[in-house]
């Protein structure tokens, strides 16, 4: 953090303390700090695979075994990752203000593992299974190449694929419209519909704090933008909050 960033900490802390319904929108950046590859960037997973080949309903219908093998590989990677200080700092903010809610684009479940309870998983959770026929949810992953529901339908990861609606978006929009303070953390600001949430919040008077490695489209509307690792910045904010 720069000296200018440090000067903004008291303002951020004061705005958070006065907020009634603070929210955090998180993206792949916070998980990348736990060692989980992002879909974008130089080491992104999409560098090796085209998304339309693996993360669509059509791909699952044609090659379910390949799709499941890929997701099981991803699960193995994610299962070895641990929440980082950024995740734990957000969980601490919920303990400070029980109304604090996280809206995440990530499917890794790290916010829950860090202790956060009010989490809206926009894109689902990779460690859950869903029946492709009856939509029954299984809360534990099944690692077989092909796995079936009791109804006979093929199980698939309970994640939102390209071309599928984000079923929890209305809940997220309602939270964004209600909030009066929003962190926007580690997100590119270009993936819809999540990218619109900070704009909903800003238009309804929320104070926007962006934390990212580099500027994004959200930077144009943020009241404060802090450039650096969320695992370093968020604990500083929490420490300042606790001290005051």
Task: Give catalytic residue positions.
Answer: 123
pLDDT reported for residue 35: 92
Each domain of the chain, given as residue ranges in start order, spans 1-36+84-123+167-244, 37-80+128-159
pLDDT reported for residue 54: 83
pLDDT reported for residue 243: 78
pLDDT reported for residue 182: 98
pLDDT reported for residue 37: 75
The tokens of 150 are what? 């009791």
Which residue numbers in the chain have pLDDT < 70? 1-3, 38-52
pLDDT reported for residue 3: 63
The tokens of 13 are what? 């802390």
pLDDT reported for residue 10: 92
Task: Determine phi and psi for 2, rounding to 5 degrees.
Answer: -80, 170
Homologous superfamily of domain range 37-80+128-159: SIR2/SIRT2 'Small Domain' (3.30.1600.10)
Our measurement of the distance from residue 100's CA atom to the centroid of its chain's CA atoms, rounded to an integer in Å, reads: 15
CATH class of segment(s) 1-36+84-123+167-244: alpha beta
- Residues in the chain, total: 244
């Amino acid at each position: 953090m720069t000296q200018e960033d440090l000067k903004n900490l008291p303002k951020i802390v004061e705005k958070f303390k006065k907020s009634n319904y603070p929210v955090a929108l998180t993206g792949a950046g916070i998980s990348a700090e736990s060692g989980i590859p992002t879909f974008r960037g130089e080491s992104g997973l999409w560098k090796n695979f085209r998304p339309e080949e693996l993360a669509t309903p059509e791909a699952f219908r044609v090659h379910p075994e390949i799709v499941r093998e890929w997701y099981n590989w991803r699960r193995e990677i994610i299962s070895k990752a641990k929440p980082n200080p950024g995740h734990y700092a957000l969980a601490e903010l919920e303990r400070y203000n029980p109304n604090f809610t996280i809206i995440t684009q990530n499917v890794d479940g790290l916010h829950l593992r860090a202790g956060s309870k009010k989490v809206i998983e926009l894109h689902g959770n990779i460690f859950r299974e869903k029946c492709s026929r009856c939509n029954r949810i299984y809360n534990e992953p099944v690692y077989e190449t092909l796995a079936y529901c009791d109804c006979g339908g093929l199980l698939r990861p309970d994640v939102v694929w390209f071309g599928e609606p984000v079923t929890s978006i209305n809940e997220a929009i309602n939270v964004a419209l209600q909030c009066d303070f929003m962190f926007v953390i580690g997100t590119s600001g270009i993936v819809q519909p999540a990218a619109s949430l900070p704009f909903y919040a800003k238009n309804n008077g929320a104070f926007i704090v962006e934390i990212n490695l580099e500027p994004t489209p959200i930077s144009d509307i943020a009241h404060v933008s802090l450039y650096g690792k969320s695992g370093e910045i968020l604990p500083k904010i929490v420490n300042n909050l606790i001290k005051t």
